[in-house]
Homo-oligomer: A and B are copies of this chain.
Amino acid sequence: MEIKVVRQIMEVNEYVAQENRRLFDQRGILVINLMSSPGAGKTTLLERTLDALKNEYTTAVIEGDIATQLDAERIHRHGVPVLQINTQGNCHLDANMIRNALESLDLDGVRILFIENVGNLVCPAEFSLGEDMKVTILSVAEGDDKPEKYPVMFQQSKALVINKLDLLGFVDFEVGAARRRALALNPRITIFELSCRTGQGLGAWVDWLRAQVDEKRAASG
């Protein structure tokens, strides 16, 4: 019975996700679902990215958290429209939360919508939101064994951002080992190595985002 209900929940989620996707496609908006453990640096990466792209594209952000408006307040300071979803204890965003959020978010002219998921390396990977791609962020402080231990997240992502490179040497993390493990699960994943703190490696990530916007624009005709 539990299994049947879970299947129904997933089917309803997939249906709503497809509705969201249609809306995003019609408007030619690139939608990126950012996922990671708590504290891997999703919000900080977002802040750096928004600043880097602010003269090129209109962007918008949906922040998912269990509680508090802390992340939305951080994004708001960058002058970007942001909507905070509080999941009230729920461990992931779902497509319906995004649909409801879209009613309060002005998408006019928006080229990229970033959705920051709840900090959780497990559950968010299982719920499509209608996004174009999932991106996983892994902090080097978490250890290089995480792809093997939390495989679904890495299998589902188009890109992996290895963050907090400035901590290498102070923690047990081999970049090569993390790369190998992620690629074994998902040979097509694009991997970035960067530090939001020092700015090292951010350029390649931002360039890649620009290319994703161009691709989406071309696909939307």
Contact = CB atoms under 8 A, between A and B. Distances in A.
Interface residues of A, number: 37
Interface in A112-131: 118-123, 126
Interface stretch (A23-31, A45-53, A163-171): A163-171
B121 A67 contact: no
Number of copies of this protein chain within its complex: 2
Contacts of A170: 166-167, 170
Given A37-B37, A37-B38, A66-B122, A167 B141 contact: yes
A5 B152 CA distance: 25
A89 interface: yes
B68 A148 contact: yes
Contacts of A70: 145, 148-149
15 contacts: A2-B5, A37-B121, A38-B142, A38-B146, A66-B149, A66-B152, A68-B148, A89-B126, A91-B91, A119-B121, A120-B123, A122-B123, A139-B141, A164-B171, A167-B167
Q: Pick the 4 closest A-B CB pairs, nearest first.
A: A39-B142, A141-B141, A91-B122, A37-B38
